[in-house]
Amino acid sequence: MTSSVEPLVAVVTTDLSAVTRGRFVAESKLQKTAATGVGWLQANLSLTPFNSIVDPNPWGSSGDLRLIPDLKARFRTTRTGSATPFDMVAGDIVDLDGSPWLGCTRTMLKNALVELKDATGLSVIAAFEHEFHVADGGFAPAHSMSFAALRRADPFAPNLMAALEEAGVAPEVVIAEFGDEQFEVTHEPADALTAADRAVAIREITRELARNAGWRASFAPKTAPNAVGNGVHIHFSFVDEAGKPVTYDPAQPGGLSAKAGAFCAGVLRHLPGITAMTASSVSSYYRLKPHSWSSSYTWLADRDREASLRICPTVTIGGRDPARQYNIEYRAADATGNPYLSLAAVVRAGLEGLKAELPSPPLVTGDPTLMSEAERAKLGLVRLPETLPAALDALVADSTVTGWFAPVFIETFVGLKRHEAERLAGLDPASICDLYRTLY
């Protein structure tokens, strides 16, 4: 569809509720806007997913910021079926003098990446794999992952692929997943900041396309208590300063290089503390349960989908080199977590492991729920927090994790999330899933 009006570009930021918010400017004004950005305000960091603001919050009613678009993070496509193009640019929040604002999660990710590189010479290559439900597609029943399951939604999948391609997201595959009316979309690995920007674009483009089909795409971690969970699997690997992949070492167990192993050990050590940042809603904890192929213990495994850190497969067909394919996925994440903050937390935790030169964690096989307490302890398996309040307690209790952030940022995050849990305290799981299904 075309329109004779001048299209708008959204300058956006993604907040602690993982909601992408922003301000729109005329396309012809974007270059000018890039210098000083658009207005933003501190208290927006305390916005809940319920269109309310936590009160009291550390920010109050005063204060102003600027949201500066990063023109390299622009996603534009005419293919969502809307009257005007989908056009968004991710931005960084700064103070009025241009200095980075301590509550900007995109900046937090950039800083974490710089610190990792300064300390170790490593850069992160990442990809976000998203699962979602089309909640009200009204589809005829179909078998899981079947040809028919994807075709019944036609032309949704090819339209999504085309829109993501045009937007520059570099999609890889769109599939019908295991769950009823569940789909998955992946993108090509990229530098970590680009990957997080792509995660934002994927969520919004998918939702917009579904909306234009008269449906609702929901990335909620559980669309119903018994539904198959919607995970966000964050894939990561490392390159050195010469761009050489350094995650793989065939001489090590599972092919995990010593450096990548130290990183993984750091992630597992701080996993209970960072879970609230990567799985940030009440319903997230209905997903993080054993036997649901999500994540439930501080567990590294070679190609096991129950693990929190899973070494992904590499393909050697035709003599292909595993080194560049080799990556690990962090599975304790979902789309109620801010992608920048999620990846920043994983990188910071991994950096702790590298700085402490931790040994690679053991590769665990088997079912932790069938192990004795002593067996689990021997393998370092700790159950992840089982509720959002427990995850917030674990966050606050890990002074290493809280130390990565400004105290007022932690105060804001914990206050926001405690408010979210308290607000839903009287509801049963089915009602809570219903609510998140419409919000995400």
In the structure encoding, which two tokens stand for residue 194, read together? 């680009």
Largest Cα span, the chain: 69
Place of tokens 């799985």: 279
Q: Which residue type does 214 have?
A: G
Assign residue 336 a region: left if phi > 0, alpha if psi is -120 to 50, beta otherwise?
A: alpha
In order, the DSSP letters of 168-223 are: T--EEEEEE-SSTTEEEEEE--EEHHHHHHHHHHHHHHHHHHHHHTT--EE--S-S
- Over its C-alpha atoms, the chain yields an Rg (Å, rounded) of 21
Region from 62-70, 176-184, 191-199, 413-421 binding Mg ion, contact rule CB under 5 A = 176-184
Q: How far apart are CA 209 and CA 211, in angstroms?
A: 5
DSSP per position, 78-135: S-SS-SS-EEEEEEEEE-TTSPBPTT-HHHHHHHHHHHHHHHHS-EEEEEEEEEEEET
Record the tokens describing residue 402, joined without a space: 């809280």
The residue (of 139 and 293) whose beta carbon lies closer to Mg ion is 293
Structure tokens at 145: 């992952």
329 forms part of the interface with Mg ion (CB under 5 A): no
Q: How far is CA 256 from CA 249, 267, 282, 299, 307, in A?
A: 6, 14, 34, 14, 15
Least distance in angstroms from the C-beta of 131 to Mg ion: 5
Where do contacts with ligand GLU occur on this chain (CB under 6 A)?
131, 228-229, 231, 287, 293-294, 305, 331
From Mg ion, ligand GLU, none, interface partner of 269 (C-beta below 5 to 8 A by class): none
How near is the Cβ of 119 to Mg ion at its closest, in Å? Answer: 33
22 vs 229, which CB is nearer to ligand GLU? 229
Which region among 155-163, 178-186, 212-220, 421-429 touches Mg ion (by CB under 5 A)?
178-186
Shortest distance, position 229 Cβ to ligand GLU, whole Å: 3
Structural contact between residues 347 and 124, judged by C-beta atoms closer than 8 angstroms: yes
- Nearest 5°: the CA angle 234, 300, 285 is 60
Shortest distance in whole angstroms from residue 199 CB to ligand GLU? 15
**Residue of 87, 92, 181, 184 that binds Mg ion (CB under 5 A):** 184
Closest to ligand GLU by CB, 103 vs 231, is: 231
- 294 binding partner (options ligand GLU, Mg ion, none; Cβ < 5 to 8 Å by kind): ligand GLU
Q: Which does residue 293 touch among ligand GLU, Mg ion, none (CB within 5 to 8 A, set by kind)? A: ligand GLU
- State the nearest-atom distance from the C-beta of 275 to Mg ion, in Å: 20
Position closest to Mg ion via CB: 184
Binding piece for Mg ion, criterion CB under 5 A, among 5-13, 71-79, 183-191, 371-379: 183-191
> Coil, strand or helix: which one is 49?
coil
CB of 190 vs Mg ion, minimal distance in Å? 19
Residue 297 identity (one-letter amino acid): Y
Stretch that binds Mg ion, among 109-117, 181-189, 190-198, 360-368 (CB under 5 A): 181-189
Q: Output 122 or 150, the one with its CB closest to ligand GLU.
A: 150
Nearer to Mg ion, 117 or 289 (CB): 289
Q: How far apart are CA 284 and CA 220, in angstroms?
A: 8
> In this chain, which residue has its C-beta nearest to ligand GLU?
231
User: Toward ligand GLU, which CB reaches closer, 128 or 409?
Assistant: 128
Give contact residues for Mg ion (rule: CB under 5 A).
184
